[in-house]
Amino acid sequence: MELTSNPHVLSWVAEMAAMTKPDRQVWIDGSEEQLSALREEAVASGELIRLNGEKLPGCYLHRSDPSDVARVEGRTYICCKRQEDAGPTNNWMDPDEMRAKLREICEGSMRGRTMYIIPYSMSVIGSPFAKYGLELTDSIYVVLNMAIMTRMGRPVLDELGDSPDYIRGLHASVDLDEKNRYIVHFPEEDEIWSVNSAYGGNVLQGKKCFALRIASNLGRQEGWMAEHMLILGIENPEGEVRYLSAAFPSACGKTNLAMLIPPEHYRRNGWKVWCVGDDIAWLRVGQDGRLYAVNPENGFFGVAPGTSDKSNPNAMAATRRDTIFTNVALNTDDNTVWWEGMDKNPPRHALDWTGKPWTAESGTKGAHPNSRFTAPAKNCPSISPEFDNPQGVPLSAIIFGGRRARVAPLVYQSRDWKHGVFIGSVMASETTAAASGAVGVVRRDPMAMLPFCGYNMGDYWQHWLDMGGHIGKKPKIFNVNWFRTDENGRFIWPGFGENLRVLDWILRRCFDEVGAEETPIGFVPRPEDIELEGTDVSRATLAGLLQVDRELWREETAGIRTFYQKMGGHLPPDLAAELDALEARLK
Ligand code: OXD
Ligand code: MN
């Protein structure tokens, strides 16, 4: 039964159904009753495996097609009328040409299948941040994941009323043909099409497709920002909570930082850390001139391998109920899950992520390296009491970071907003050959948005600069690097919970409670200002971690110049000036 009389919704659903020709249409109302029936159906068809009801209540395992296990950046498109508007960092095709291609692929593709119609909201329904979407999909897996990752169902349509203001999304699994796999955004038409994939990041459209690529466009038009950032609240012993957001490229420990547990010394003194978000932040200027952040999602779609009771006990706790695991190993002794890095006790009897018998001696991975958990945010023991606050949380600091073996110090503060935007625009990570200490290739990933910015990267930087003009009380901008290595390629800084020591300094800087040393790259802590009690790190080691090597930085600026040249005429003059000024300070 249709759940709305919204003519814009009904005509579009009818149009998509006429093209894909599903046998049935099911409107997702979001009720537990309906979701539970869908879970039963997926278990009966083998799409989901129900896990141990005592150890993992409400949890399921799903295996995706082995050729469909990750986001496909090479097949992800921004289709706006002018290629220049997609810019040099995005794949582009003419929208009419792409539409014709997609229609051909999707024609009749849902014959024999059901089309599920999912109304969903990014952010709290009815809040000032909220944006609505409809995803039409032929996958129960997508429905059940969207039920964890977003607020969804009937209340979304009630709130939307007769408005045309929603993002249209079509997901057609077709036959999972890699060569015809497309993840396509039409930012000028508020539309997303995912075809020939059924894997999370490609098809859970609320996440990267909507909340970053489409939303970054909306933010630019409407004067707000959609960012690839975690959001944290840090409560000091006085009970005051200060908030920050942080952007890191993949594989830099973002989920771990988002769920950080304070070191013993801090815990004893009454510090607490609250998770507001682990992946995406929408930022708006509040009435008081501060920048407010919400996490538009309602769950975590986290990478499983490496997650353990040691590295991230909060994430582990979040996945102990009502979670969907994708492409992890199945422990057939007790019908639970396992992945590399969970513990040192791989199951004696297991099936690997492809469903084949597996043991630790097999010489292959039990879980796919990009295997995932989809867990409700409210399961996380450190979820912030402000998680559902429709106004968001006020940011004191914005942090950028990357994985750099030598060049970036543990932490430094930008000179001002413009310089902070410069720091974000040149963010980079290196691949490191840990054993030899060799420095690998530098991959620039501006604001961690390289695969997620839905328009021209140069214009996106300009939007950041322009936002600086609208935020009365601007968050201070910092850069961190947890990954400096010694001459043997070993990490010098202990990382994980100990990173709170650096966040503590950052927040004290934001409230003018601590000094700093000025260097050519920005403000660096005095070694005595970072709390080291309870660590093995000596003051001398810390001093080393904070050093700025001018020679390395001169090389760095040369790399930045080459990178900036790719932006052509879209490079904001303010950023070109920042680079010149940095070079001059390094002379
Ligand atoms: C993610 C990513 O899955 O950034 O969050 O790749
Ligand atoms: Mn991400």
Query: Which of 69, 72, 279 is the best mutation target for the ligand 1 pocket, counting ligand atoms within 8 Å of the beta carbon and taking the most?
Result: 279
Q: What is the DSSP string of 322-354?
A: S-EEES-EEETTTTEEE-TTS-S---SSEE-TT
Helical spans, DSSP H, in 192-334: 200-203, 215-222, 254-258, 264-268, 313-318
> What is the pLDDT, as a whole number, of residue 253?
87
Ligand 1 binding site (Cβ under 6 Å of any ligand atom):
71, 201, 250, 279
pLDDT tens digits along 110-136:
999 999 999 999 999 999 999 999 999
Using a cut of 0.85, tell me whether the model's pTM lies above it.
yes
The encoded tokens of residue 38 equal 């869908």
Residue 84 predicted with pLDDT over 50: yes
pLDDT in tens, 257-293: 999 999 999 999 999 999 999 999 999 999 999 999 9
Phi-psi region of 238 (alpha: psi -120 to 50; beta: other; left: phi over 0): alpha
**Per residue in 394-416, pLDDT tens?**
999 999 999 999 999 999 999 99
Pocket test for ligand 1, best of 76, 203, 208, 449 (most atoms within 8 A of CB): 208
pLDDT at position 213: 98
In this prediction, residues 332-342 reach a mean pLDDT of: 98
pLDDT at 61 over 80: yes
The per-residue pLDDT of the chain, averaged, comes to: 96
Please check the confidence at residue 436 and state whether its pLDDT lies above 50. Answer: no
Residue 323 half-sphere exposure toward CB, CA atoms < 13 A:
27
- Could you tell me which of 460, 474, 568, 569 has the C-alpha nearest to residue 221? 460
The closest residue, in CA terms, to atom 6 on ligand 1 is 250
DSSP 354-396: TS-EE-GGGSS-SS-TT-EEEEEGGGSTTB-TTTT-TT-EEEE
Q: Give the pLDDT of residue 435.
A: 40
Report how far ligand 1's centroid is from the alpha carbon of 370 (Å): 10
For ligand 2, the distance from its centroid to the CA atom of residue 426, given in whole angstroms, is 18
The confidence score (pLDDT) of residue 451 equals 96
**pLDDT of res. 439:** 56
